[in-house]
């Protein structure tokens, strides 16, 4: 069998497991989401082994989308980690077999705190499933390896269920882009959501700026002096009337036999797409990328006056 055949077979098995579970769980999942939505404390996610790794990711997704959560390794819980538990918390246990010793032993301890328990379990007739307040059936027909041994379809399904729960909670509380930015102040996501255009744009003193009657030769000289990939065409009041990009010049050089006597007006794009200084970077990105023909540079305007230029390279 070709390598690609093994690859495709694995992907299809895992995809089918998620699809089948979605059909199975959709009609009965509302009470689980309601219990998590009304939790007065945090969601404590527990697991060991591969389920523990999946649990860490689910907990991180919950926290990053506005649902306070922490991962507690089921084994370490008995050696002091139970200190994070409180009576208004809710436990989310993850186990494929449903017989994981650490989780079976942990359930009565969690009960002693007065906590409700939700379990994502691959075997609904197992001890963990029976002892939970709500059991989410995460059973799969088979794993994706030929031996049916490696946690693949089962771990992928558990992760997909956790993601779906987090997104459901996120939608229930009308979690906004501003909320997302608050929880992601670092990294590219935080930068795009929190930073403003004026914080990364190139000010006019560093931008090629010409008039409509400026010769194409002078436009090229200006764009060489200020190599940002574009020149703003303005009037005497510094109001934008057009934009010239490197691509505009290349296309015209192919079309024309010579540039003598040619002016900026003949080469510029009138009424180009613009952005404001106080717009967020994500707004600028959407203007540049969410188009049939993406663009890589935007003039920055304030009350019709050109204030600078922002490129896609300035954002990433």
Both tokens assigned to 215 = 């010769």
- To 10 degrees, what angle do helices 49-64 and 153-172 make? 20
Lowest mean pLDDT among 62-66, 175-179, 249-253: 175-179
pLDDT at 181 over 70: no
Look-up of token digits 């934009």: 243
Do 309 and 244 touch, CB atoms closer than 8 A?
Answer: no
Per-residue pLDDT tens for 104-144? 999 999 999 999 999 999 999 999 999 999 999 999 999 99
Residues of the chain with CATH 3.10.580.10: 197-315
pLDDT band at 315 (very low <50, low <70, confident <90, very high): confident
CATH architecture of 197-315: Roll (3.10)
Indicate the CATH number of 3-175 among 3.40.50.10490, 3.40.50.300, 3.30.310.80, 3.90.640.10: 3.40.50.10490
Per-residue pLDDT tens for 77-88? 989 899 999 999
Do 106 and 119 touch, CB atoms closer than 8 A?
Answer: no
Do 128 and 93 touch, CB atoms closer than 8 A?
Answer: yes
Residues of the chain with CATH 3.40.50.10490: 3-175
pTM: 0.71
pLDDT at 1 over 90: no
Phi-psi category of residue 69: left, alpha or beta, with phi > 0 → left and psi -120 to 50 → alpha? beta
Q: What is the mean pLDDT of the chain?
A: 92
Whole-number Å distance between alpha carbons of 109 and 115: 9
Whole-number Å distance between alpha carbons of 191 and 184: 8
Whole-number Å distance between alpha carbons of 149 and 53: 18
Per-residue pLDDT tens for 159-169? 999 999 999 99
């Amino acid at each position: 069998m070709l390598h690609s055949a093994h690859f495709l077979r694995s992907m299809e098995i895992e995809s089918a497991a998620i699809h089948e579970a979605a059909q199975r769980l959709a009609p009965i999942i509302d009470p689980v989401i309601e219990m998590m939505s009304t939790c007065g404390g945090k969601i404590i996610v527990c697991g060991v082994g591969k389920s523990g790794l999946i649990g860490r990711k689910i907990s991180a997704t919950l926290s990053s989308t506005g649902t306070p959560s922490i991962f507690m390794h089921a084994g370490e819980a008995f050696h002091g980690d139970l200190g994070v538990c409180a009576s208004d918390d809710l436990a989310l246990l993850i186990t494929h077999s449903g017989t994981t010793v650490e989780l079976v032993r942990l359930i009565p301890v969690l009960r002693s705190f007065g906590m409700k328990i939700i379990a994502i379990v691959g075997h609904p007739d197992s001890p963990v499933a029976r002892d939970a307040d709500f059991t989410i059936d995460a059973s799969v027909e088979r794993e994706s390896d030929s031996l049916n041994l490696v946690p693949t379809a089962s771990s992928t399904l558990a992760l997909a269920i956790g993601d779906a729960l987090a997104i459901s909670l996120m939608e229930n509380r009308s979690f906004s882009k501003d909320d997302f930015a608050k929880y992601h102040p670092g990294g590219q996501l935080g930068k795009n959501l929190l930073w403003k255009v004026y914080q990364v744009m190139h000010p006019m003193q560093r931008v090629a700026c010409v008039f409509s009657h400026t010769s194409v030769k002078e436009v090229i000289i200006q764009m060489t002096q200020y190599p940002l990939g574009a020149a703003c065409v303005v009037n005497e009041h510094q109001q934008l009337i057009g934009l010239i990009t490197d691509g505009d010049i290349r296309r015209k050089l192919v079309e024309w036999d010579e540039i003598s006597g040619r002016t900026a007006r003949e080469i510029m794009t009138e009424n180009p797409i613009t952005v404001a200084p106080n717009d967020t970077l994500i707004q600028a990105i959407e203007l540049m990328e969410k188009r049939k023909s993406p663009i890589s540079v935007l003039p920055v305007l304030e009350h019709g006056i050109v204030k600078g230029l922002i490129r896609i390279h300035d954002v990433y």
